[in-house]
Amino acid sequence: MATLGVNIDHVATLRQARRTVEPDPVWAASLAELGGADAITVHLREDRRHIQDRDLEVLRRTVQVKLNLEAAIAPAMIEIACRVKPDQVTLVPEKREEITTEGGLDVVAHRAATAAAVERLHAAGIVVSLFIDPSPTQIEAAVDLGVAAVELHTGEYANAATDAARHAELVELSRGAAMVRQAKLGLNAGHGLTYRNVSPVARLEGMGELNIGHSIVSRAVLVGFIQAVREMKSLLS
Ligand code: PXP
């Protein structure tokens, strides 16, 4: 059965919209654990647009399940990871102007820098996963780099405009998953997964961790809305 890594970045996005203290992603992590999350995932971006250094440090001390840090291959980020020591680092691409992570890390084009990051993280005893597109060349390069796991990018599947296109992307993911299994790497996946589209990906043979953020945080805002309004209303009476 696939496991669930809850990405809490967007709780921090909401807090950063006001540069205040609420909602605290650390609280969200605890609640996610109570809900059964198998892992807590955060992306400490170089531009610090949502998760802050303080969040990562407090999460390292409070998260009881697996803490998965998404980070760019930049040396400064790897240094932070080696100091904080999350259970797993998932290396991701990062561009300042993007709205969210677009596509997997190109480990063929950035082979030397990725290898250097992987080596430093391994020396610090941290498990490394590479967030890559489900293409044979990317998977082969990831296997060569000696990482424990890959996270297959499900964005193309999630964004497919038609059923036929979605099916084609699922076939790609399924082929990629078979290669990953054959190489005996851990098989993770994520990006753009929702309550509607997650099941076929969760059913892929050997699927490990699914990292899901936006859809869970979006639903949390709406399912909690009535109670939040009622609580404010009761203070007025
Ligand atoms: N996995 C990776 C590597 C990501 O970068 C993200 C987005 O930060 C996710 C999973 C979660 O994606 P979403 O927020 O669309 O569920």
Instruction: Tell me the HSE value of 217 on the side-chain side, using a 13 A CA sphere.
Output: 24
Q: Supply the pLDDT for residue 96.
A: 64
Mean pLDDT on 41-63: 98
Q: Supply the pLDDT for residue 101.
A: 64
pLDDT greater than 80 at residue 47: yes
Q: Supply the pLDDT for residue 95.
A: 79
Mean pLDDT on 178-195: 98
Cβ count near 162 (within 10 Å): 8
% of the chain exceeding 70 in pLDDT? 97
Amino acid at the residue 213: G
Select from 100, 132, 217 the residue to mutate for testing ligand 1; criterion: most ligand atoms less than 8 Å from CB.
100
Closest CA to 150 of 202, 192, 88, 194: 88
Sign of CA dihedral 140, 41, 52, 228: positive
Q: How many domains does the chain have?
A: 1
HEC readout, the chain? CCEEEEECHHHHHHHHCCCCCCCCHHHHHHHHHHCCCCEEEEECCCCCCCCCHHHHHHHHHHCCCEEEEEECCCHHHHHHHHHHCCCEEEECCCCCCCCCCCCCCCCCCCHHHHHHHHHHHHHCCCEEEEEECCCHHHHHHHHHCCCCEEEEECHHHHHCCCHHHHHHHHHHHHHHHHHHHHCCCEEEEECCCCCCCHHHHHCCCCCCEEEECHHHHHHHHHHCHHHHHHHHHHHHC
Q: 61 or 99: whose pLDDT is higher?
A: 61
Q: Supply the pLDDT for residue 102.
A: 72
* Ligand 1 atom closest to 158 (CA): 15
Does residue 191 carry a catalytic annotation?
A: yes
Q: Supply the pLDDT for residue 100.
A: 65
Does residue 10 carry a catalytic annotation?
A: no
Instruction: Indicate the burial class of 126 (C-beta count within 10 angstroms; 0-12, 13-18, 19 or more).
Output: buried
Q: Supply the pLDDT for residue 74.
A: 97
Helix axes 9-16, 25-34, angle to 10 degrees: 150
Q: Which domain holds residue 56?
A: 3-235
How confident is the prediction for the chain on average, in pLDDT? 97
Mean pLDDT on 41-67: 98
Q: What CATH number did the domain enclosing 97 receive?
A: 3.20.20.70
C-alpha of residue 168 to centroid of ligand 1, in Å = 21
Contact by Cβ (8 Å): 74, 116 = no
Q: Supply the pLDDT for residue 97.
A: 66
Contact by Cβ (8 Å): 152, 186 = no
Taking only the tens place, the pLDDT of each residue in 81-121 is 999 999 999 999 997 667 666 799 999 999 999 999 999 99
209 lines ligand 1 (CB under 6 A): no
C-alpha of residue 231 to centroid of ligand 1, in Å = 32
Least confident among 40-54, 87-101, 162-176: 87-101
Mean pLDDT on 49-77: 98
Taking only the tens place, the pLDDT of each residue in 192-231 is 999 999 999 999 999 999 999 999 999 999 999 999 999 9
The single residue of 10, 50, 153, 191 carrying the catalytic annotation is: 191
Pair of tokens at residue 183: 């190489």
Mean pLDDT on 5-17: 98
Closest CA to 51 of 190, 217, 209: 217
